[in-house]
Chains A and B, each alone.
Chain A
Amino acid sequence: MELGLKGKTVIITGGGSNIGRAIFLAFVKEGSTVINAEIDETQAKKVLDEAKGLPGKALFIKTDVTDWDSVQNMVKTAIEKTGQIDVLVNNVGWVYDRLFVEKPREEWEKEIKLNYWSYINCTRGVLDHFIARKGGNIVSVGSDAGRVGEFREAVYGGCKGAIIATSKAIAREVGRYNIRLNVVCPGATIPKKEEVGKDSMWQEAFKFFTPEMAEKAAHAYTLRRLGTAAELANAVVFMASDAASFITGQTLSVSGGYSMM
């Protein structure tokens, strides 16, 4: 099946860890020119090394997605280096699981900045370019938490629900310019320790998602196991590709049947 991704330029936010890292490597495997918009330089360089020998080009532009100026600079640099952006993958996300009534306000503010404002900043950051060239697409990482609500992830779920709803709205506004927006929703996706950088939510979440917890959690999944970052990455690659040229405003769960909507 022709995906048409060879030579395309793809920006991935937070491509240093877990799902972002898997998505980054997946696009480099397709022969794309892939820009890692990552805040952790050390982790980004690790992933650049891992990309050596793959058919595409791997680049890094240090970015703080919660800072509008940082995002604008990243987009400007990306266009200077590559000439044209074809795909944006909004991947950065963060959560610390706690009951809503036990959440400190600072954690809510952090979650809204990292999950929703990051999505708004980056999406807004590329749209003028996409509209001018009447092309381009955006794939954002949502979560089943945003579709069905998740225990101990109240505001995180809200941010992911916001990404889903905002994607549909923007898709309606820019469809006329042939720009597509879609969301891919994972379930719990546990990385290996060496696949995450210092800012990853997993630095603390490993304490909670022990192997015993993961085994218990698998019972809620129709396919009786948790998902891998690579499986999520496949769906992102598909949605970004020419094979999905008539798909926009959609939300696809890649979560082993955890939610079925």
Chain B
Amino acid sequence: MELGLKGKTVIVTGGGSNIGRAVFLAFMSEGCNVVNAELDEVQGQKVVDQAKSLSGKALLVKTDVTDHKSVEAMVKKTLDTFGQIDILVNNVGWTFDRLFIEKPREELEKEIKINYWGFINCTRAVLDHFIARKSGAIVSLGSDAGRVGEWREAVYSGCKGAVIATTKAIAREVGRYGIRLNVVCPGVTVPASTNDMSKYSLWQDSFKIFTPEVQQKATHSYPLRRLGKPEDISGAILFLSSDAASFITGQTLSVSGGYSMM
């Protein structure tokens, strides 16, 4: 199937860890120009180096997605380097699992900034360019938490639900320019190790919660009887970004082994 991705320019936010890293490497394998908009410069550079033998061209641009000026500068740097942007993958996300009534306000604010404002800032920053070219695709990472609600992830779920609803609304507004927006929702997606992760990754703290025993118990909720791996998620993101998905917009696709079926 012809995806038509070769030579396209893609921005991946948070391409240093876990799902973002797998997505970054997958687009590099397709021969894309890929910008790693990553806050942790050291880890970002590590991943860019890991992509050396792949057919794409990589560019690391240190970015704080919660700061719209940092995002605008990253978009400008991308345009200066590659001349155009075809695809944006809103991947940055963060959570720390706690009961809602035990959540400190600072964590709620952090979750809303990273998960929702990050999506708004990056989406807004590429849209003028997409509208001018009458072309562009945005794929955002949601979560099954945003579809069905997840225990100990109340505001994280709300942010992901917000990403889903806002995506549909913007899709309705810019579909007339040929711009498509979709959301991919993982379930629990465990990185291979803590070594290959940015210092900001949610997994730096979450392995304390998601011990091997807890992970094993969790698999019972998955019809496919296992948790997700970062490589499971990248296929759907590549597909939805590509020309093969030219008639798909405003959609929410769970890649979570059947955890939710809506």
Contact = CB atoms under 8 A, between A and B. Distances in A.
Interface in B225-262: 225, 228-229, 232-233, 235-236, 238-239, 244-258, 260-262
B164 to A, nearest CB: 9
B149 interface: no
Given A172-B258, A246-B228, A257 B245 contact: no
Nearest to A234: B244
A179 to B, nearest CB: 9
Contact of A249 (B223, B233, B250): B223
B30 to A, nearest CB: 7
Nearest to A248: B258
Contact of A235 (B29, B248, B260): B248
A247 interface: yes
Nearest to B175: A222
Contacts of B172: 222, 257, 260
Interface string A216-229: 00000111100110
B232 A246 contact: yes
Contact of A243 (B29, B236, B256, B258): B236
Interface of B: 1, 3, 26, 29-30, 168, 171-172, 175-176, 178, 180, 222-225, 228-229, 232-233, 235-236, 238-239, 244-258, 260-262
Report, nearest first, the 6 A-B pairs whose CB atoms are least far apart: A175-B223, A243-B235, A222-B175, A249-B261, A260-B250, A246-B232
Given A222-B176, A223-B175, 19 more contacts: A1-B26, A26-B1, A175-B257, A222-B175, A223-B180, A223-B249, A238-B1, A241-B235, A243-B236, A244-B235, A244-B236, A245-B232, A246-B256, A246-B257, A248-B223, A249-B223, A250-B254, A260-B172, A261-B252
